[in-house]
Amino acid sequence: MSDLKTRLEQENLSPWERLKLIMAILRSPEGCAWDCKQTHKSLIPYLIEESYEVVEAIETENWPGLKEELGDVLCQVVFHGQLASERGEFVTDDAVESINEKLIKRHPHVFGERHELNPQQVRDQWEKLKIESGEKKSVLNGLPRSMPALTMAFRIGEKAGGVGFDWNHPAEVIEKLEEEIGEIKQAIKNEDRQGIAEEIGDLLFATSSLARKLDIDPEQALRQALEKFRERFERLEKEVKKSGRSFTDYNLDELEAIWQRVKTIPAE
């Protein structure tokens, strides 16, 4: 039995140390062929998948599932830490210490002179501290281009707002939405395909800003709307199938009438 496996049998190991040791064993010559083959890049899809499963567990309020999914995300963190340690770059504990220091520095109102700040003031302070410390050359640095566009729109607005570049009230954003719709209409009238695409992008960006000003997560709101549409459309399909006809046998007004009826049926 290897030294690593012998250490795994120690009773005084914390869960954190046990997980790191298990990962080291899996990556060792006597470990798992699949684990030994992985790289930082090859693990990207799994990290994304596990993160989305955490989101789903939260949205469905599946708290036992959340415990399991958080463990899966933590496994990915330790996996990347193990890969880095093998290359002599850093160990997982270095990443933990890094976030420890960051949390203390970013919360001077808690760990320094005590100040009572509301959540918005805390977010604004967080963004200002990142710029003042030189950590970020731009307020908008640090947003990965691979993140969902709607979430990115929300975060860009949040970061810009953190340094004062923001609307004061939701009503002002609504005015912007109306302006963007007018510009879309004009682009359509001009048959300007590029202009239409740009104005629709501006409309979506402004919509995310309205959600932010109303303390709504636009990504989650859209996901809920899509799930509601999916559930209702499946009811519509059942009604069409029950009639013995196909979609092409109905005109739009008839389908709309069925749609309005299924909307009143409580979700199962």
Q: What is the mean pLDDT of residues 32-48?
A: 94
In angstroms, the CA 96 to CA 104 distance is: 13
In angstroms, the CA 154 to CA 141 distance is: 14
As a whole number, the mean pLDDT across the chain is: 90
In angstroms, the CA 256 to CA 250 distance is: 10
Q: What is the pLDDT of residue 268?
A: 62
Q: Out of 3.40.225.10, 3.10.580.10, 1.10.287.1080, 3.40.50.720, select the CATH number for domain 138-219.
A: 1.10.287.1080
* Lowest mean pLDDT segment, chosen from 91-105, 159-173, 175-189: 159-173
Confidence of residue 263 (pLDDT cuts 50, 70, 90): confident
Q: What is the pLDDT of residue 136?
A: 65
Q: What is the mean pLDDT of residues 33-57?
A: 93
Q: What is the pLDDT of residue 209?
A: 96
Which spans in the chain are helix H?
A: 3-8, 15-26, 33-37, 44-59, 63-86, 92-106, 108-111, 119-132, 149-162, 170-189, 193-213, 218-242, 252-262
Give tens-digit pLDDT for 70-109.
999 999 999 999 999 999 999 999 999 999 998 998 888 8
Q: What is the mean pLDDT of residues 53-62?
A: 91
* Lowest mean pLDDT segment, chosen from 30-39, 136-145, 196-205, 213-222: 136-145
Q: Out of 3.40.720.10, 3.40.190.10, 1.10.287.1080, 1.20.1560.10, select the CATH number for domain 3-98.
A: 1.10.287.1080
Decide if pLDDT at 187 tops 90: yes
In angstroms, the CA 65 to CA 72 distance is: 11
* Lowest mean pLDDT segment, chosen from 58-62, 132-136, 146-150, 214-218: 132-136
- Name the token pair of 45: 């899809």
In the chain, which segments carry CATH 1.10.287.1080?
3-98, 138-219
Confidence of residue 1 (pLDDT cuts 50, 70, 90): very low
Q: What is the mean pLDDT of residues 195-199?
A: 96
Q: What is the pLDDT of residue 267?
A: 66
CB-side neighbour CA atoms (13 Å) of 194: 0
Maximum mean pLDDT: which of 141-145, 181-185, 220-224, 243-247: 181-185
